[in-house]
Amino acid sequence: MARYKIRQSAKKNVDELIAHKGVYTTITEIMSQPYINPDRSLEWVPKNIKIADKGSVLYYVGCIPYFNYEFDKIDVIALSTLQIISKIEKEPIVLFKEEICCGHDVYWGQGKLEIFIELAKKNIKMFEKAGISTIVTACAECYRTFKVDYPKLFEDFSQKFEVKHIIEYVYEMWKKGKIEFIGKNESEEGISFTYHDPCRLSRFLPENNAITDNTREIFKEFKKLGYSFNEMEHNKSNSLCCGVNSWMNCNEKSKALRYKRMLEAKSAGSIMLTSCPKCKIHLSCLQDDYEDISSIEISDFSEFLVNHIKVIDSNKNSEVEK
Residue pair 151/122 in contact (Cβ under 8 Å)? The answer is no
Residue pair 51/78 in contact (Cβ under 8 Å)? The answer is no
pLDDT digits (tens, 9 = 90+) for 53-106: 999 999 999 999 888 877 778 999 999 999 999 999 999 999 999 999 999 989
Distance between CA atoms of 301 and 84, rounded to whole angstroms? 11
- Check residue 243 and give its pLDDT: 77
Does the pLDDT value for residue 2 go beyond 70?
Answer: no
pLDDT digits (tens, 9 = 90+) for 95-104: 999 999 999 9
Options 3.30.870, 4.10.240, 1.20.120, 3.40.50; which CATH number does 180-309 get? 3.40.50
Does the pLDDT value for residue 318 go beyond 50?
Answer: no
Distance between CA atoms of 59 and 165, rounded to whole angstroms? 10
- pLDDT-based confidence at 234, cuts 50/70/90? very high
Mean of the per-residue pLDDT values of the chain: 88
pLDDT digits (tens, 9 = 90+) for 173-211: 999 999 999 986 665 667 899 999 999 999 999 999 999
pLDDT digits (tens, 9 = 90+) for 3-46: 445 544 545 555 555 655 567 788 889 999 999 999 999 999 99
- Check residue 188 and give its pLDDT: 61
- Check residue 73 and give its pLDDT: 82
Residue 277 region, left (φ>0) first, then alpha (ψ -120 to 50), else beta? alpha
pLDDT digits (tens, 9 = 90+) for 92-143: 999 999 999 999 989 988 889 999 999 999 999 999 999 999 999 999 999 9
Q: Which residues of 71-92 are buried (b: 16+ CB within 10 A; e: fewer)?
A: beebbbbbbbbbbbbbebbeeb
- pLDDT-based confidence at 223, cuts 50/70/90? confident
- Check residue 65 and give its pLDDT: 87
Residue pair 311/174 in contact (Cβ under 8 Å)? The answer is no
Task: List Cα–Cα distances, 237 to 143, 199, 206, 211, in angstroms.
Answer: 17, 8, 11, 11
pLDDT digits (tens, 9 = 90+) for 252-299: 787 888 899 999 999 999 999 999 998 998 899 889 889 999 999 999
Distance between CA atoms of 150 and 102, rounded to whole angstroms? 9
Q: Where are the domains of the chain?
A: 2-175, 180-309
pTM here? 0.90
